[in-house]
Structure 1
Amino acid sequence: MLKTTIINLLLFCWASISCVQAQELSPPTADNDAPQSIEQQVQDLKKEVIALNRDLFILEEDLLFPSSTQLVVYVAMDMGSYFKLDAVELKIDDETVSQYLYTQRQVSALYRGGVQRLYIGNISQGDHQISAFFTGIGPQDRPYKRAVSGTFNKDSDAKALQLNIVDSSSKQQPEFTLTEL
């Protein structure tokens, strides 16, 4: 129902912009400033629609994922000399909640310090088990699949976890860790 309301509101805004643009195409009157003021009105309407869209997105996220049940899981990488990431599978309480296949461009962004939001969802309060399975190319260009798992306690506040892939120079292998943010 919320999505229908949002879509109807956005369609109304775009229809309003289209009407203003159609008026702009009509021949100008004796006043030469009229087309410029209509153009300014169109620009102002576009800015308002963008601001409204941002506010609606935030509202939708708050309604769909209230902080009392919200869990967010991120993925971050270090240099990546010993591991080339291909895919991640995330399980919470033995249920697969996310599977992600990475492009070379996305992996490159992670190497440069980017952080990807792998999962956002709702879970009940209490203790939970999380497992992440990483697939890629490991040392000596061999297929590599490793997992990291842990437990966490979800309380009444939003919970954020981060899956880290870090090169271990001493072991010459990647290490996979789970940290609470």
Structure 2
Amino acid sequence: MKRLLLIVLLLTASSHVMAAEKTSVAGKIQALKQQAVKLHKDLAQLEQDLLYPSTTQVAIYVSKKLAKNLALSQLDLYIDDQRVTSFIYNSEDNHALDLGGMQRLYLGNLKVGEHVFKAVAKSIDSKQQTIVLEGEAGLYKSNKPLSLSINVVDAAGTQPAAISVSRL
């Protein structure tokens, strides 16, 4: 009887030890997961800093101002007469821009100095006619990040539609 009681006591104690070890292992796994997530976030930030250092960074955004009568179909961006990006718009993209959204069109690097930024947009007006709009600006890129805005403007038919390129 003493042996049976001793065996039951040992089994109960060992099951408690095993449960504590499982809890401890689960806690360690959770801590490792949290460390991995933090490390991934830090690596992503480091990658951004290395790929786009602030001294050469340029970011270009697109918006529509009073241009609900125009539907963008395509926009090409040129920097120093070289096309750097092109985007084809669908109805959802136009709806987001009509609601006041801004789209990041380009993120890249430029050396310090004078640069020419040109945007060419194909759009469709309320009469279903295709219109080609162009806007250009010569701007100096300093050793600080440069943010530009390409605005598609149509003053409700009182003026012809236009594109403006300006600093943010």
The verdict on a shared fold, with TM-score over 0.5 as the criterion, is yes
Query: Which amino acid counterpart does residue 161 of structure 1 have in structure 2?
Result: L
User: 1:75: Cα distance to partner?
Assistant: 0.9
User: 1:179: Cα distance to partner?
Assistant: 1.5
Structure 2 residues not aligned, in runs of 5+: 1-14
CA distance in 2, matches of 1:48, 1:103: 40
What does 1:160-179 align with in structure 2 at a 5 Å threshold? Answer: 160-169=147-156, 171=158, 173-179=160-166
CA distance in 2, matches of 1:113, 1:100: 18
TM-score, normalised via structure 1 length: 0.73
1:114 is matched with which residue? 101
Alpha carbons of structure 1 residues 93 and 43: separation in structure 2 relative to 1, 3 Å: same
CA distance in 1, matches of 2:93, 2:21: 47
TM-score, normalised via structure 2 length: 0.78
Of residues 64-73 and 36-45 in structure 1, the stretch that sits farther from structure 2 once superposed is 36-45
2:32 is aligned with 1:45: yes
Q: Given that residues 67 and 156 in structure 2 are in contact (C-alpha distance below 8 angstroms), is that contact kept between their aligned partners in structure 1?
A: no
Q: Given that residues 134 and 162 in structure 2 are in contact (C-alpha distance below 8 angstroms), is that contact kept between their aligned partners in structure 1?
A: no
2:42 is matched with which residue? 55
RMSD (Å), alpha carbons: 2.4
1:20 is matched with which residue? none
1:102 is matched with which residue? 89
| Number of residue pairs matched by the alignment | 154
Structure 1 residues not aligned, in runs of 5+: 1-27
User: 1:38: Cα distance to partner?
Assistant: 4.3
User: 1:68: Cα distance to partner?
Assistant: 1.4
1:22-81, Cα deviation, whole Å (9 max, x unpaired) = xxxxxx975445555544544443333333222212211111111111111111123542
